[in-house]
Amino acid sequence: MLIDIILGGLIKFIWPYDIFELGGMRKIDDPIMLFFFVHPWVLGFTLTFVYSYFGKALDGNYITKGWKFGLLMWTVIFVPYAFLVYTSMNYPIGFTVNSVIPPLVYMLLSGILIAKTFEWLE
């Protein structure tokens, strides 16, 4: 989450936008917005569950396994999302870049962390 804040801030500095002014966004005090803040936790638990099946198929040390797993999950989760947003909505380019770059970094790091955790548990 810290990586998302840092990289997101840098991207917003280069391509400024306000997420709450975009069409289709809910107000911050809407109770449904709780799902926005729960998303990283759900993603983390889901990735850990998925790695328990995919980890055995990956070769190399924990860094290589984690890097491959993180890249695979980024490709499956965030690339289609960013493509759909870019092609179907009139959002600023900063929003799309922010939907691709920070997730790439934190998915790679998350994959490495998950792989290290599973290596430690074995």
pLDDT in tens, 94-107: 888 888 888 898 88
Positive/negative CA dihedral, 39, 41, 47, 53: negative
Cα(36)–Cα(108) distance, rounded to whole angstroms? 21
Residue-range domain boundaries for the chain: 2-121
pLDDT in tens, 26-51: 777 778 777 777 877 888 888 888 88
Highest mean pLDDT among 8-17, 60-69, 79-88, 113-122: 60-69
Cα(11)–Cα(5) distance, rounded to whole angstroms? 10
- Banded model confidence at residue 91, pLDDT cuts 50, 70, 90: confident
Q: What is the pTM of this model?
A: 0.76
Cα(38)–Cα(33) distance, rounded to whole angstroms? 9
Tokens describing residue 102 = 């920070």
